[in-house]
Amino acid sequence: MYKWPDEIKQIIGEVLFSQDPIFCLEKHVNIPLAQNITFLLFDGNQTTNFKNIVYEYCNAKYSIVALGNYNNTAVVNTTILSERNDTVSLEIAYCIDIDSNIASMLPKIIKDKPLDNDLFSFLEFIKTNNLNLNLLPYLLEDSLNSTGMGNEASVYECLLSFFTFKRLSLTELNSLPMTPDTEDYLFADNAWSQMKHSRFHERNEEKRVRCIYCFLLKVYSIKFQNKKSPEKKILELINFINTELGVYLEAGMILAYWLYSGAHECVIQFFQKIQLKSKNKLKNIEGMAWDLFHLWDIPTEMAILSTQYKIMLPALATHDDALAKISKLNPITRIAFYSNEAQVKYKFSLEDVLDDSPMLNSISDYQSQREQICETINLLNLSTQLEQQFIELFDIH
């Protein structure tokens, strides 16, 4: 998004934060560049048919969470506005991204092992409502994280069981275990090849999760290092993103403030995975980085899979209760798509959380500096430095 044309940034900013986004976009109908932007609005009063295809679920830590009020979705772009008196046909698809913690449970369906009632109810819900499934979170995480694909047989089994489950009917689900067929093996082989390629050729080039990982290392270092006020801790975090990280993660900054201030139990629960006496701290922080990435990457997934007249709405299926609740604390209200990327407006901004504190000025003042840092930063080196600083804290304690 840093490289978007200034005119695009201006239009998107105006519409995302306008009290009347449709009227605001209408002013840009005749601007050629604006024709390449699509907006999803979840915060209007419109009545839509999206509720007929959107399903959420919450039972015994199994959740399917939409990241905004998908029932209320309005799709707007300049082409649709200019053709408002004509019939505009929109193709809408709803899919469920299966998180790694659920993917690891699926092999039970191809083994002679009983499913516990909670897992079976969750899988039954998916089949009853004929939900479209996507294994992207697992494919990315297990092929690109530091310890992924360690047990190759287990990884392949997860892939095979996913594609077997994906084609099952509700009736077949009640007749487990299932035997994979030839097509299941073909799909699993293809996914396996993609994962191996990513592991050998793309792992060191992955930047988005490593950026979040660096951010979390700093969040924890600040948390464990001092007993400053939440505001002073956030100021230290702002200085870090302005001078070292080069990326402003607003959703992450809000989570960090809620952690430091103890504002929400689910945020505390999510971050409690790391304590002073915890084992495997760095590995667990990396896992949390992937969890947050799966949430924050969904708008990008939407942008890549959507076009002017075809919109994809992904939701996340997870067995992490705290992660599911976090997604509901600060839902997405609007999204802009441009050039396969997304700009997001959440219900709460950092300004809302910090009550317009003067420290927020440095975020806008240092935007140009952050962009320069982002162009040249070596995240591998930065993460190594932050890991060392983090580990040294525990030598002190």
Q: How far apart are CA 169 and CA 118, in angstroms?
A: 19
Q: List, for residues 264-304, the tens digit of each pLDDT value.
A: 999 999 999 888 777 889 999 999 999 999 999 999 999 99
Residue 338 has pLDDT above 70, yes or no: yes
Residue 112 predicted with pLDDT over 90: no
> What is the C-alpha radius of gyration for the chain, rounded to an integer number of angstroms?
22
Confidence (pLDDT) at 148: 86
The answer to which of 3-7, 248-252, 335-339 has the lowest mean pLDDT is 3-7
Q: Among 83-87, 262-266, 314-318, where is mean pLDDT lowest?
A: 83-87
| pLDDT higher than threshold 60 for residue 122 | yes
> Rounded to an integer, what is the distance from CA 328 to the centroid of its chain?
12
What is d(CA 135, CA 328) in angstroms, rounded to the nearest whole number? 22
Give the residue-averaged pLDDT of 78-86: 74
Mean pLDDT, the chain, rounded, equals 91
Give the mean model confidence (pLDDT) for residues 142-166: 93
Cβ atoms of residues 90 and 75 within 8 Å: yes
pTM: 0.93
User: What are the tens digits of pLDDT across the range 170-191?
Assistant: 999 998 899 999 999 999 999 9
Confidence of residue 237 (pLDDT cuts 50, 70, 90): very high
Each residue's pLDDT tens digit, 299-313? 999 999 988 778 999
Res 397: pLDDT: 44
Q: What is the mean pLDDT of residues 340-354?
A: 93
Q: Which of 32-36, 85-89, 265-269 has the lowest mean pLDDT?
A: 85-89
Q: Which pair of structure tokens corresponds to residue 33?
A: 């560049």
d(CA 152, CA 143): 11
> Quick one: CA dihedral 54, 58, 64, 65, positive or negative?
positive
Q: Is the dihedral of CA 350, 353, 359, 360 positive or negative?
A: positive
Tell me which amino acid residue 317 is. A
At residue 66, does pLDDT exceed 70?
Answer: yes
pLDDT band at 154 (very low <50, low <70, confident <90, very high): very high
Classify residue 215 by burial, with Cβ atoms within 10 Å: 0-12, 13-18, 19+. buried
- In order of 64, 289, 290, 296, 306, the CA distances from 324 in angstroms are 8, 15, 14, 13, 24
Domain boundaries, the chain: 96-205, 206-300+350-396
